[in-house]
Amino acid sequence: MEVTMQVNMHEAKSQLSALAEKVWRGERVVIAKAGKPYLDLLPHRENRIQRKPGRFKGRIHMADDFDHTPEDIIEAFEGND
């Protein structure tokens, strides 16, 4: 279970080492500015998987009528029912 901790900017500056240890142990640390979430403190991961464009080519299929939206649906979204 991921624990979330929110600290203000001043506290984060004075306790950065301790907060970093918490993040490495799996806790989530959010740094707040003026009481509102501002930054997420995350651990650096050296070997992140690089995304490869086109890796799902040929594996995703769209219905032939994908681009056709029935008029009643359009009217419902536009509030013209």
Could you read off the pLDDT of 8-43 as tens digits, one per residue? Answer: 999 999 999 999 999 999 999 999 999 999 999 999
DSSP state of 73: H
DSSP state of 20: H
CA angle 40, 45, 46 (to 5 degrees): 145
Q: What is the residue range of 33's domain? A: 4-41
Average pLDDT, the chain: 89
Q: How confident is the model at residue 1 (pLDDT cuts 50, 70, 90)?
A: very low
- In this structure, is residue 48 part of a structural domain? no
What was the pLDDT predicted at 59? 93
- In this structure, is residue 24 part of a structural domain? yes
What was the pLDDT predicted at 81? 57
CATH code at position 35:
3.40.1620
Which residue type occupies 27?
A: E
- In this structure, is residue 9 part of a structural domain? yes
- In this structure, is residue 15 part of a structural domain? yes
Please tell me the total count of domains within the chain. Answer: 1
- In this structure, is residue 64 part of a structural domain? no
- In this structure, is residue 58 part of a structural domain? no
What was the pLDDT predicted at 52? 84
CA angle 64, 66, 70 (to 5 degrees): 115
